[in-house]
Chains A and B, each alone.
Chain A
Amino acid sequence: MQNYLENNLARFVHILRHLGVTVSTGETITALKALRLVDIMQREQVRCALQATLVKNHEEAPVFLRAFDSFFAVPEVRRQQQEEWQESKDERVQLIAEAEQDLTYLGEQLEISEEEKLLYSQLAEEEKKKIKNYLDASFLPEDRHHAFKPMLEFQVRGSLRYWRQRLAEEGELPLIPGDGADDEILAAAGQELGNNDGSLLYEDMKRIGDSDLPRVTSILKKLSRKMATKISRRYRMSKKVVKIDLRHSIKSNIRYGGIIFNLKYRQKRVQKPSILLVCDVSGSMARYAAFVIQFIYGLSAVIRHIESFIFSEELEPVTPYFKRIRPFEATMAELIGKSRIWGKGTNLGASLNSLQSRFPLSLTPHTVIIVVSDTKTLELERAERELTAIKRSVKEILWLNTLPHDEWKDLRSVGMFKQYARMYECYTLAHLEKVLRRQFLN
């Protein structure tokens, strides 16, 4: 085969890009030049050469290593990868076919997405039967059934959406075979990454088990410590020379008879941000809130002022708990123990109203409000009204939405609140770190 090296490298780069590593064409060319300079028969040299030229973030190294091991696997492993991938593809086709057989209306297939068909096939038999019975029981005279079919499709989609959310909340969403990977190497590398023990950063926070909490605490400490250092540098008085300070220059050069010998420059002063944290602690949201609070308080040394509130049915101020110097775990335990609202239902509107009426001085034009919530609440319109009012009195509102981005379109509340806040997907520690970095460091 002509251009064997070039083709292989291009394919490997394609795989890296699929796995989320950004590689430019320029870097690919450099990698090709590098491969010509090392002993191509020495696996370790090839790996080091590709890693040095293609991966420029240390955090991406594990992804690179998985991709490298899968791509440059020995023939037996490659064969096994290919077989597994083929099996997975076959299984996917079979599941879709099964769903298509069941999901029909008067012998005609329902028009729903492949993803929805796959989810249907993996539901418990009992649930499948309910949907099927519903379809069997629905019929209208033939002249009207074309108008009725879209309604049925809408109903089935709604039911499947409900199951997807419920299974996701229970952590039992089935793995979809052959999902996303159009290549056996991609599939193998992706699977390996999924099994990687070091993936706590990318795990949905509410699914992190109690046994992993000490590790999470340690990760949060490290992340917030690192970010605090960066923020403290960013908000220190800048020494960057901007403009000549004429008055200061003349004053300090009087001793040279008015000749401006030593120039003095103006310095720029940057204000530290002031944060007001509003965390939803109703039901399954409580775990997210605990992690976000811990992260934000890790930054307290470099943020001018942090005020925090938790809410479910109503609002509760929690700032005083964090004023005492003691381990964070003990503070959180006391907070959860004493709180009257931890783990109850959600009423964002009532809580925001309470924030405005009881703590008006906390809402200033310098305040950045960070809301941690999945947007699901009672009295949606009231919440929107209160949010509109608050938006007018603060610098900005950041919304850390704990729902995955692809579920946002299904919720009216997301669309409503997005108009008043910058909303970010935030259900993993990696998301949290990224959002806060963007907010304070970019």
Chain B
Amino acid sequence: MQPDKITIEQLRTGFEKNGYIAEDEITVPVYLALRLEKPILITGAPGVGKTEIAKVLSGVFGTDLIRLQCYEGLDENKALYEWNYQRQLIKIQLIRESASNDAVEQDLFSPGYLLERPLLKAIQAPKKVVLLIDEIDKTDEEFEAFLFEVLSDFQVSIPELGTIKSRHIPMVVLTNNGERELSDGLKRRCVFLYIDFPSVEKEIRIIRVKVPEAGERLAEEVALAMSYMRHSLDLKKKPSISEALDLAHALVLYGAARLEPEWVQKTINLLLKDKEDLDLFNSKVGPAGLVEIVRSEESKRH
């Protein structure tokens, strides 16, 4: 399957085969990014499945995933390429008196001494790869400016080697947790996708796909509990989809058929990882209260 010839339906099926439940809201922007050969910028709360999209894309097209994890202080050397300084030094020490200066210099700046970092790797890849630039908001503005230059031309200039042009434009996925406002320039170059927490129905489907042992009833109760905690409690960190899956897994391991106060008590630390959030949960609703709410919502749905 070719990314630039794919249809929305094929993409949706591909996502489903790779265990990612997605509706038009997600598939259309991803499809457009692939067809228009533009980077896709995905934002949303942590744990809603932003990074997963890149992994799924590499699965759908059977290609490599090259990941650039961003952090404060990340610069071109770590993202694009770097000369292997230590190796060059050793080489100089070894051939100090035996070779001519020109020959040494030419040799020292040959591809053998080049350390390829993720961006260069993606550009030089022999086939179309998925390039995941994770948590772009953690980098500095200067790096962001550099990045959108690379992303517009998909070519880099290495003074000692010349310009390297990409053979295949990679499928670029940028994720953003919203910690910093990204520049308009970068946003303009991308197709934009915001992923929200899923609806109860969608979360039930996700749990059923990822933790099939949980069964229909337990999946529904977990999804209802998640929905209540995300929307009705003023939590510092709302439980993510991955944490909902952790909860479902844990309940299966405990052999629970339904959500009971006892299981909530034992597993609440999988969902709430902040003392203030735990205190808020216990004072406002508590395990028994949560189960009661879930049961009442459940009866309304059936």
Residue numbers of A with Cβ under 8 A of B are 22, 24, 26-27, 30, 33-34, 37-39, 44-45, 48-49, 51-53, 55-58, 61, 218, 221, 225-226, 229-230, 233, 236, 238-241, 259, 261, 263, 437, 441
Contacts and interface: CB of A to CB of B under 8 A. Distances in A.
Contacts of A33: 36
Contacts of A240: 72-73, 75, 140, 142
B234 A48 contact: no
B25 A30 contact: no
A258 to B, nearest CB: 12
A291 to B, nearest CB: 17
B89 interface: yes
B86 A238 contact: no
Contacts of B89: 259, 261
A263 B178 CA distance: 33
Given A233-B72, A263-B85, A34 B179 contact: no
Contact of A261 (B75, B86, B187): B86
Nearest to A27: B188
A61 B187 CA distance: 15
Contact of A48 (B24, B190, B236): B24
Nearest to B77: A241
Contacts of B25: 48
Given A45-B24, A239-B73, A240-B140, A52 B86 contact: no
Given A233-B138, A239-B71, A441-B180, 10 more contacts: A24-B188, A33-B36, A34-B32, A38-B31, A48-B28, A58-B194, A233-B180, A236-B72, A238-B73, A263-B85
B190 A229 contact: no
A233 B138 CA distance: 9
Contacts, number: 88
Interface residues of B, number: 38
Contacts of B191: 30, 34, 52-53
Give the residue among A37, A45, A52, A225 with the most B Cβ atoms within 10 A: A52
Contacts of B77: 241
A55 B43 CA distance: 12
Given A33-B36, A52-B29, A441 B181 contact: yes
Contact of B29 (A24, A48, A238, A261): A48
Given A30-B38, A38-B28, A261-B89, A241 B75 contact: yes
B180 A34 contact: no
B24 A44 contact: yes
B43 A225 contact: no
Contacts of B85: 263
B32 A233 contact: no
Interface in B24-55: 24-25, 28-29, 31-32, 35-36, 38, 41, 43
Interface string B89-104: 1000100000000000
A211 B180 CA distance: 32
Contacts of A229: 179
A72 to B, nearest CB: 15
Q: Which 8 A-B pairs have the closest CB atoms?
A: A239-B73, A48-B28, A52-B29, A56-B187, A58-B194, A56-B192, A240-B73, A52-B191
Contacts of A38: 8, 28, 31-32
A58 B191 CA distance: 13
Given A225-B236, A229-B179, A241-B73, A22 B24 contact: no
B153 interface: no
Give the residue among A37, A261, A437 with the most B Cβ atoms within 10 A: A37
B156 interface: no
Contacts of A226: 178
B226 to A, nearest CB: 19
B21 interface: no
A139 B43 CA distance: 67
Contacts of A53: 32, 191-192
A49 B138 CA distance: 28
Given A22-B184, A240-B140, A61 B36 contact: no
A56 B140 contact: no
A53 to B, nearest CB: 6
A25 to B, nearest CB: 10
B41 A56 contact: yes
A230 B194 CA distance: 20
B297 to A, nearest CB: 22
B250 interface: no
18 contacts: A34-B36, A37-B36, A49-B29, A49-B32, A51-B29, A52-B28, A52-B32, A55-B192, A56-B41, A56-B187, A56-B192, A230-B179, A233-B138, A239-B73, A240-B73, A241-B75, A259-B89, A263-B85
A61 B140 CA distance: 26
Contacts of B36: 30, 33-34, 37
Nearest to B71: A239
B193 interface: yes
A221 B276 CA distance: 13
B224 to A, nearest CB: 22
A154 B89 CA distance: 82
A49 B28 contact: yes
